[in-house]
Amino acid sequence: MTAAVLAAAFVAQTAGALLPHVPLLLAATAVSLAAEGVLARWQPGVLAMLAKSHADLTVRHVLRDLLLVVGLLRLGEHDREPQFAWPVAGLLVFYALHCAVQAVSVLVRRTRTLPVLTRNIDASALRLSPAPAALLRRPGRRLLLLGLPTTAGLAAAAATREALPAAAGTAVSVVLAAAGLGVLLVRLLPSRRPAGEQEVLDWFDRWLADYRPTVGLYFSGGASSAYQANMWLETMSRLDGRPVVILRERFMVARIAATDLPVVCLPKVSTLMRLEHSTLRVLIHPSNSGKTSQVLRIPTIKHAFVNHGESDKLSSCNPYAKAYDEVWVAGPEARERYARAGVGVEDKDVVEIGRPQLDAVRPRSGPPAPGARTTVLYAPTWEGWDGNPGNTSVVAAGENLVRALLADPGVRLLYKPHPLTGSVEPAAGAADRRIRELIRAANRERPAAPPESAAERDRLAAELDRLTTELDRLTAAGVREGADQAERMLVQSAPPPGRAEAVARATAAWEEAYWACLPQDEHRVVTGVRPALYSCFNAADLLISDVSSVISDFLAGGKPYAVVNTGGTAEDAFRAAFPTVAAATVLTPDASGVPALLEAVRHPEKDGLADARAELRLRLLGPDEPTSLERCNAALRALSAAAPDHGERGDRAGARHPRSRRLAEDLLPPPRRASGTGAGAEAGAADSVTPPSRPGPPV
């Protein structure tokens, strides 16, 4: 609609300029500018479409001013046309300055595009500075705002038939554009530029030598996949050694959750290869990506695939896993899954470590208290890249399940859809929206709370708001709107001492207040970062889900769960195909089994699957002792010991290139030792590097 209004305004402006008709010309110009503002503020997608049609803002702005000039020339007498020569000349100068500003802006951006991006690392040595104003970096918005005096002056000249307003307007625009150009040119002075590429790389090499990382979390993926790395941050902070997070995409630096771990982004392969000469011994991979093959080339680092979750899906036994040195899985079932799949992963390379993240999941304390609501967590998975209708229950069964749960007055429903729901199949997104509306409608029909209850609820809500503000303050990125990546790198330097512990305490307090604030009779759609999935596990009495890693993780609490069979297969075949369903209640798309399921949850004597859940939990997650974190650290130590140390790396390089080694021995002088020092002193100095403080759980 706005684009149509904009097109109509240009047609009307053309008619007003050619007739000429001043009121029509001025009204069409005003409508055109208003439509531009609406598009810039609320409809960026339409702007992108216009740009692809070669009708971007620059073209539209030039056309708008050109039509005003045509109108002026049509309105004036022939002997007065020379009066408008100066405004037209000023207009041309303004557009020339606009092009110059854009060219210099590109040069400034290139000087601020560093080969390495970091978080939680002191980068003050790189001479970083705040980014130029966003107005100077965005050509469309810059032209619209800086050119506004010119457009207004031309419109006023058309109304008064005098050249002075046009000359004044163009002069203001020229001065503003020249000032912007000057500000950007100063940024190109050698003293104002950030460190150059080689200087940054040398700084990064020094940081690697000083920090001496031993284990890294390697991640590459799309914008919506950051959760796969975030779920491993807290575990990484508790591992033995010096951890680091290694990313490949620049945008991912801002999407990694709050953590005190050093975060390094290495976009180029050539920069990534510098890790070969570091102390890094093991990289942990929570996902597969095309860029994973690049880091696997480094022979001095061992690689372990941990996945971001385990389920009976084919993605949990991907053939790509055989590219890693080891595959770390939760329990015996995952080991057998790889053996059954026959994808080339040898059993000797599979290591059972449990799921360290599940320390946050509390065990079941018993059935719901008499008179209390039964909290049901419906957490379906998404449709998957293949769009198989059996992947998610949202389309075929979601609405039926939600209606059946809402029909029970003793149920409080928590609906937590997968973040990628609807990203492949529009039908899944539409079903998700209908489910949300069902929940909103059920909440609207709730009876009003008594005054004393409402007062207590207001008090709890105020406390939750206070804790939210505190947690947001602790986890805020701390960067202004419009900051570029170099400015973020400057602001997000080494975190203050104790921040991680403060975040952990604030997160625990927030979650406690959140659930206390949620009325027992209110249903909730849970999205976003908070509350986390495991916090929902602790609040729920029952899980309803699909075949996904959510099932395995939920079993850590020993609570009942149900899996929806939307594939149309018989229940026996369904259980045989998916071992994680062995201890579940299987629901059909019509949700007819929901009442009996709720009855079994409320009355444990009717729950015939408790023993099966305990047995399945052991198969999926492994034993409780030693703890999962202890097993993970043991696996890390063993794999790290298998990585070649610096001496072995040199020996292997020499073995590959014996002539080069002989030349080095002949040409290089023997190492010099300072008086009173020796190998032991050197080793002691190297070991004196202080490891980072252990961060708390990310949010």
Residue 632 pLDDT greater than 80, yes or no: yes
In angstroms, the CA 437 to CA 453 distance is 26
Taking the mean position of all CA atoms in its chain, how far away is CA 448?
Answer: 39
In angstroms, the CA 208 to CA 224 distance is 30
- Going by pLDDT thresholds of 50, 70 and 90, the confidence category of residue 110 is very high
Mean pLDDT of 453-478: 86
Residue 394 pLDDT greater than 50, yes or no: yes
Q: What percent of the chain has a predicted confidence (pLDDT) above 90?
A: 62
Return the H-helix or E-strand segment holding 51.
helix 44-52
Whether the Cβ atoms of residue 137 and residue 112 lie closer than 8 Å to each other: no
CB proximity list for 503: less than 8 A, separation 6 or greater: 258, 471, 474, 475, 695, 696, 697, 698, 699
Whether the Cβ atoms of residue 249 and residue 266 lie closer than 8 Å to each other: no
CB proximity list for 696: less than 8 A, separation 6 or greater: 234, 237, 500, 501, 502, 503, 504, 505, 507
**DSSP-H helix ranges across 161-260:** 164-187, 197-211, 226-230, 233-237, 252-255
pLDDT in tens, 3-53: 899 999 999 999 999 998 999 999 999 999 999 889 888 888 888 888 888
For tokens 């699957």, what's the residue? 609
pLDDT in tens, 188-209: 999 999 999 999 999 999 999 9
The single-letter DSSP state of residue 691 is: P
In angstroms, the CA 522 to CA 375 distance is 10
Helix (H, G, I), strand (E, B) or coil at 559: coil
In angstroms, the CA 503 to CA 471 distance is 7
Q: What DSSP assignment string belongs to 564-622?
A: E--S---HHHHHHH-GGGTTSEEE-TT-TTHHHHHHHHH-GGG-TTHHHHHHHHHHHH-
What's the pLDDT at 648?
Answer: 53
Give the residue from 597, 614, 621, 609 showing the smallest Cα distance to 378: 597
For tokens 């729920």, what's the residue? 540
Q: What is the dihedral of CA 245, 247, 251, 256, to 10 degrees?
A: -30
Tokens of 102: 């854009």
User: Higher-confidence residue: 684 or 345?
Assistant: 345
What's the pLDDT at 78?
Answer: 57
* Contacts of 73-77 spanning 24+ positions with Cβ under 8 A: 74/17, 74/18, 74/19, 74/20, 75/20, 75/22, 75/158, 75/161, 76/161
What's the pLDDT at 147?
Answer: 93
In angstroms, the CA 144 to CA 128 distance is 30
What's the pLDDT at 699?
Answer: 33
Residue 350 pLDDT greater than 50, yes or no: yes
CB proximity list for 322: less than 8 A, separation 6 or greater: 343, 344, 345, 346, 349
- Going by pLDDT thresholds of 50, 70 and 90, the confidence category of residue 646 is low
In angstroms, the CA 317 to CA 350 distance is 11
Sign of CA dihedral 418, 423, 428, 431: positive
Backbone angles phi, psi at 536, to 5 degrees: -65, -40
Q: What is the layout of strands, in order, in the sheet containing 302-305?
A: 117-119, 263-265, 243-247, 215-219, 282-285, 302-305, 326-329, 350-352
Q: Is the pTM of this model over 0.75?
A: yes
Give the residue from 339, 335, 341, 336 showing the smallest Cα distance to 353: 335
Taking the mean position of all CA atoms in its chain, how far away is CA 70?
Answer: 50
Backbone angles phi, psi at 126, to 5 degrees: -95, 10
Whether the Cβ atoms of residue 35 and residue 68 lie closer than 8 Å to each other: no
User: Higher-confidence residue: 669 or 45?
Assistant: 45
| Type of residue found at 34 | A
Whether the Cβ atoms of residue 248 and residue 115 lie closer than 8 Å to each other: no
- Going by pLDDT thresholds of 50, 70 and 90, the confidence category of residue 642 is very high
pLDDT in tens, 533-562: 999 999 999 999 999 889 989 999 999 999
Helix (H, G, I), strand (E, B) or coil at 119: strand
Mean pLDDT of 117-135: 94
CB proximity list for 650: less than 8 A, separation 6 or greater: none
Residue 251 pLDDT greater than 90, yes or no: yes
For tokens 């790189």, what's the residue? 126
Q: What mean pLDDT value characterizes the chain?
A: 87
Mean pLDDT of 140-147: 90
Tokens of 255: 């999407």
In angstroms, the CA 330 to CA 327 distance is 10
Tokens of 481: 């709107």
| Least confident window among 84-93, 363-372, 591-600, 678-687 | 678-687
Residue 380 pLDDT greater than 90, yes or no: yes
Residue 661 pLDDT greater than 70, yes or no: no
In angstroms, the CA 523 to CA 444 distance is 10
- Beta strands 350-352 and 326-329, pairing class: parallel
In angstroms, the CA 417 to CA 379 distance is 5
Mean pLDDT of 318-338: 91
Q: What percent of the chain has a predicted confidence (pLDDT) above 70?
A: 90
CB count within 10 Å of CB 130 equals 14
CB proximity list for 480: less than 8 A, separation 6 or greater: 130, 487
User: Higher-confidence residue: 117 or 696?
Assistant: 117
556-567 burial, b at 16+ Cβ within 10 Å, e below that, comes to bbebbbbbbbbb
The single-letter DSSP state of residue 692 is: P
In angstroms, the CA 681 to CA 381 distance is 56
Residue 669 pLDDT greater than 80, yes or no: no
Taking the mean position of all CA atoms in its chain, how far away is CA 421?
Answer: 16
What's the pLDDT at 671?
Answer: 40
